[in-house]
């Protein structure tokens, strides 16, 4: 049975390659049919803010790749409700509908459920 | 115990030195390192081009010696390496770049190698940030 | 199931410690390394928060010594062999990169 891996992404989308490089780990895992989960935590929740415009910074659109996650077999998508609330983001208005909002207690249990974790 | 060790910070970062010391302690403790995987700025630890002052710790040199001595699998993420200008001879040729910064024992490969190591190891430990 | 959380950033002007303390489980352990040992600076808010929580708290000895941080008796200093053992005694390691 394959080991499960949870990726916790804490970087905002336009602060450097961190958000994209976290997503690349997830996509690679999905491509190999591995059980991968993705949690958006702290500034990572900004990756899911609606109506972003990557072209304003001459960057590639991250949200297109995020929307593609279920197609790569990655359906375990989560967002920290507290992180979103602290940043004035409504969890129901985020750009990735499949991402489930979790409380702190639920996230503690989530980390426990996975075999390995990478927080970047 | 089988360890997979992933490094995300550049050679001059204290976390990179901690990664090496952890790896050395793991081997000294009789454990196995299934793979060293360098990602994000971690790729700079594999660079031959880093020049360290004589009176400072030369981490790329120490990594190379450690990997060679214990015949470890040292993999550098190719996408992260290309983005940061850490190319081996093959990639330098492919992209027509002058500088060849990576050579044996380091191998440039994809994120599949990280996932492979995670599946194989009992423990994954990541170093990076600061 | 338990996780070893590893921090290496200063808690001042950084939210990793705060987030970690929100999510850390009762059986988990926390290792302070690098600038994260500044969380044990007496009289500081992080020090008070850790003192109040009384987690399974570990400190990398070299980092405390380098910074002249005196480690309180409710935390344990460790070296690298002990760090390796700690990573084995917990089911996984979560480094807050």
Model confidence, pTM: 0.97
Identify the structural domains of chain C with CATH numbers, from first to last: 3-95 (3.40.1260.10)
* B79: confidence class by pLDDT, cuts 50, 70, 90: very high
Strand partners, B35: B4
Separation in Å, CA of C95 to nearest CA in chain B: 6
Separation in Å, CA of B20 to nearest CA in chain C: 10
How many separate domains does chain A show?
1
Residue A54 counted as domain residue: no
Q: Which of B7, B46, B59, B77 is catalytic?
A: B77
pLDDT for B1 beyond 90:
yes
Rounded CA-CA distance B20/A106 in Å is 34
Report the pLDDT value the prediction gives residue A93, as an integer from 0 to 100: 87
Report the pLDDT value the prediction gives residue A52, as an integer from 0 to 100: 93
* A120: confidence class by pLDDT, cuts 50, 70, 90: very high
> For the residues A89-117, what does the mean pLDDT come to?
95
B128 vs A contacts (CB less than 8 Å):
120
pLDDT digits (tens, 9 = 90+) for A11-67: 999 999 999 999 999 999 999 999 999 999 999 999 999 999 999 999 999 988 999
The conformation of residue B38, written as its DSSP 8-state character, comes to E
pLDDT for B88 beyond 90:
yes
Structure token pair of residue B121:
């190891």
Q: CB–CB of B112 and A32 under 8 A?
A: yes
Nearest CA in chain C to A22: C97
* B85: confidence class by pLDDT, cuts 50, 70, 90: very high
C25 vs A contacts (CB less than 8 Å):
108, 111-112
Residue A56 counted as domain residue: no
Q: Is C96 on the interface with A (CB under 8 A)?
A: yes
Tell me which residue range forms the domain holding A33: 5-48+72-119
Report the pLDDT value the prediction gives residue B130, as an integer from 0 to 100: 78
Report the pLDDT value the prediction gives residue B25, as an integer from 0 to 100: 98
Residue A99 counted as domain residue: yes
Structure token pair of residue C90:
């917990």
Separation in Å, CA of B78 to nearest CA in chain A: 12
What subunits touch chain B, counting only 3 or more CB pairs under 8 A?
A, C
Structure token pair of residue A48:
């899911």
Residue A57 counted as domain residue: no
Q: Within a 10 A sphere around the Cβ of A56, how many other Cβ atoms? A: 8
* B31: confidence class by pLDDT, cuts 50, 70, 90: very high
pLDDT digits (tens, 9 = 90+) for A55-95: 999 999 998 899 999 998 999 999 999 999 999 999 888 98
> For the residues C72-83, what does the mean pLDDT come to?
98
Rounded CA-CA distance A60/A103 in Å is 31
For residue A34, give the CATH number of its domain: 3.40.1260.10
Nearest CA in chain C to A4: C92
Q: Where would I find the H helices in B1-130?
A: 14-28, 59-69, 78-83, 89-94, 112-120
pLDDT digits (tens, 9 = 90+) for C15-66: 999 999 999 999 999 999 999 999 999 999 999 999 999 999 999 999 999 9
Residue A59 counted as domain residue: no
Identify the structural domains of chain B with CATH numbers, from first to last: 2-127 (3.40.1260.10)
Rounded CA-CA distance A48/A77 in Å is 12
* ipTM for this prediction: 0.97
Is B126 marked active-site?
Answer: no
CA A99 to chain centre: 8
Q: CB–CB of A119 and C24 under 8 A?
A: no
pLDDT for A107 beyond 90:
yes
Report the pLDDT value the prediction gives residue A91, as an integer from 0 to 100: 84
The upper half-sphere exposure of residue B74, i.e. CA atoms within 13 Å in the direction of its Cβ, equals 25
Residue A84 counted as domain residue: yes
Q: CB–CB of C95 and A104 under 8 A?
A: no
Q: Would you say C3 and C86 are in contact if contact means Cβ atoms under 8 Å apart?
A: no
B129 vs C contacts (CB less than 8 Å):
8-9, 95-97
A119 vs B contacts (CB less than 8 Å):
126
């Amino acid at each position: 049975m394959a080991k499960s891996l949870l990726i916790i992404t804490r970087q905002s989308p336009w602060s450097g390659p961190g958000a994209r490089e976290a997503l690349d780990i997830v996509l690679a895992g999905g491509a190999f049919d591995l059980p991968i989960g993705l949690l958006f935590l702290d500034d990572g929740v900004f990756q899911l803010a609606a109506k972003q415009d990557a072209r304003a910074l001459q960057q590639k659109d991250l949200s297109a790749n995020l929307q593609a996650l279920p197609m790569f077999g990655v359906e375990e998508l989560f967002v920290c409700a507290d992180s979103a609330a602290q940043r004035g983001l409504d969890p129901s208005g985020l750009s990735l509908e499949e991402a489930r909002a979790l409380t702190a207690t639920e996230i503690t249990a989530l980390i426990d459920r996975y075999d390995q974790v990478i927080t970047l | 115990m089988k360890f997979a060790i992933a490094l995300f910070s550049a050679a001059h970062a204290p976390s990179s030195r901690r990664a090496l010391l952890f790896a050395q302690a793991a081997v000294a403790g009789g454990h196995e390192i299934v793979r060293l995987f360098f990602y994000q700025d971690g790729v700079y630890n594999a660079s031959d081009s880093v020049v360290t002052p004589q009176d400072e710790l030369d981490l790329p040199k120490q990594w190379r010696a450690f990997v060679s001595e214990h015949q470890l699998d040292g993999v550098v993420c190719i996408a992260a390496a290309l983005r940061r200008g850490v190319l081996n001879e093959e990639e330098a040729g492919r992209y027509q770049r002058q500088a060849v910064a990576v050579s044996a024992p380091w191998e440039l490969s994809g994120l599949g190698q990280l996932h492979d190591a995670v599946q194989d190891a009992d423990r994954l430990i990541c170093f990076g940030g600061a | 199931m338990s996780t070893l959380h590893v921090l290496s950033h200063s808690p001042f002007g950084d939210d990793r410690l705060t987030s970690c303390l929100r999510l850390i489980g009762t059986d988990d352990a926390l290792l302070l390394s690098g600038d994260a040992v500044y969380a044990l600076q007496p009289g500081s808010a992080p020090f008070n928060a850790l003192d109040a929580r009384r987690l399974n708290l570990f400190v990398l000895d070299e980092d405390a010594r380098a910074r002249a941080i005196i480690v309180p008796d409710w935390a344990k200093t460790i070296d690298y062999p002990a760090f390796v053992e700690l990573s084995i005694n917990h089911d996984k390691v979560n480094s807050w990169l």
